[in-house]
Amino acid sequence: MNDRRKSVRKETMQMLSLKQVNQDRVQDFLRERWGGEEMVLSAGTFRYDELDGFVYEENDQLTGIVTYARVDHELMIVSLNSEVPGKGIGERLLKRVEQEAIQDGFAAITVLTTNDNVRSLAFYQKNGFRLTEVIIGAADEARKQKPSIPFTGESGIAVRDEWKLVKRAAGVQLQPFDETFRDALSRFELSDEQHVFTSLPLRKIAMAPDAHHVVVVKGGEAAGYFCLEQGEKKDRYTANSSAVLLTSFSVTTAFQGKGVAANAITKLKDYIRLHFPQVNEVVLGVNERNRAAQSLYLRYGFTDQGERYEGPKGKQLVLSMAIEREETYV
């Protein structure tokens, strides 16, 4: 097996709930970027200590914070600030909020931004938001309550209005397993052919309690499952210390033939970037007799570099997919 080990800079990176971080640090970070302790928008006035959110830390330094509020049937992003351009921090924070919205059953995520903030407009559209409304004079009204709001913003644009952008929660989503999924996974069904190549989700979860288990959700239901593993088992498939191994990928019979597997694979890179920021490759083994699975993986981004592994159920093709860093506007 070829040595594809890749060197990575040793960094400590983690995402935490806003409430888990020293509040003085959070207050200092947001006060500087908000121009005070309040964010005044057309949707209301918000204080940082009344909001939920997430913090991204690198080497014990705050490098990004997102705050949000629950407004009617929508989850509204109040602020999103990233300090290190080009590392995808803003994107990771945004995706974490999207997961929260799905978990809590919100129909949509909204964000309001002033009309001068063209970088944010590009960032949110790139990440699936649509511009739904221009609120004329919203910034002018907010300035009456908060005079520190500037009259001129980016590129000399007069700050007068707000843009409202919305992203609907729909389609296939990937969510970390928690106990709320156990009942649904207990009813998970596989065909006789699938049983030859993979395990039922709850069996795999019991066998590998320390692994990262993922539920594929469609329409609010548990439609599929896979496991992400590191350590000794992964080392059988690759010498890359920065890789993660995908195992036990399956879709329950009720959702087969509906594009669930393909959609899950297309979302895999973003999921790994969010939950495994130091990983640069995902590998998997697929049985040489499982032609349908081989075709699916190869069609949606995996490559076959000719490596093979003799597993307990026969010879497996070792397929891999690189996890590249993405640029971000925030």
Query: The CATH number of the domain where 134 resides is what?
Result: 3.40.630.30
C-alpha of 171 from chain center: 14
Residue 239 domain-assigned (yes or no): yes
Residue 3 domain-assigned (yes or no): no
Same domain assignment for residues 153 and 195:
no
Pair of tokens at residue 58 = 């690198």
57: β partners: 14, 62
Measured CA to CA, the distance from residue 197 to residue 195 in angstroms comes to: 5
66: β partners: 54, 80
CB atoms within 10 A of CB 125: 14
Residue 330 domain-assigned (yes or no): no
Which tens digit of pLDDT belongs to each residue from 233-266? 999 999 999 999 999 999 999 999 888 898 899 8
Same domain assignment for residues 103 and 235:
no
Q: How many domains does the chain have?
A: 2
pTM: 0.53
**pLDDT at res. 3:** 53
Same domain assignment for residues 213 and 263:
yes
As a whole number, the mean pLDDT across the chain is 89
At position 167, the amino acid (one-letter code) is K
Count of CA atoms in the C-beta half-sphere (13 A) of 122: 8
Q: Look up the domain containing 112 and give its range.
A: 13-168
Which tens digit of pLDDT belongs to each residue from 48-97? 889 999 999 888 889 999 999 988 767 999 999 998 878 889 999 999 99
Picking from 118, 149, 168, the residue at the C-terminal end of a domain is: 168
Measured CA to CA, the distance from residue 208 to residue 210 in angstroms comes to: 6
Picking from 143, 168, 193, the residue at the C-terminal end of a domain is: 168
Under a CB-based contact definition with an 8 Å cutoff, are residues 241 and 279 in contact? no
Question: Residue 213 belongs to what H/E stretch?
Answer: strand 212-218
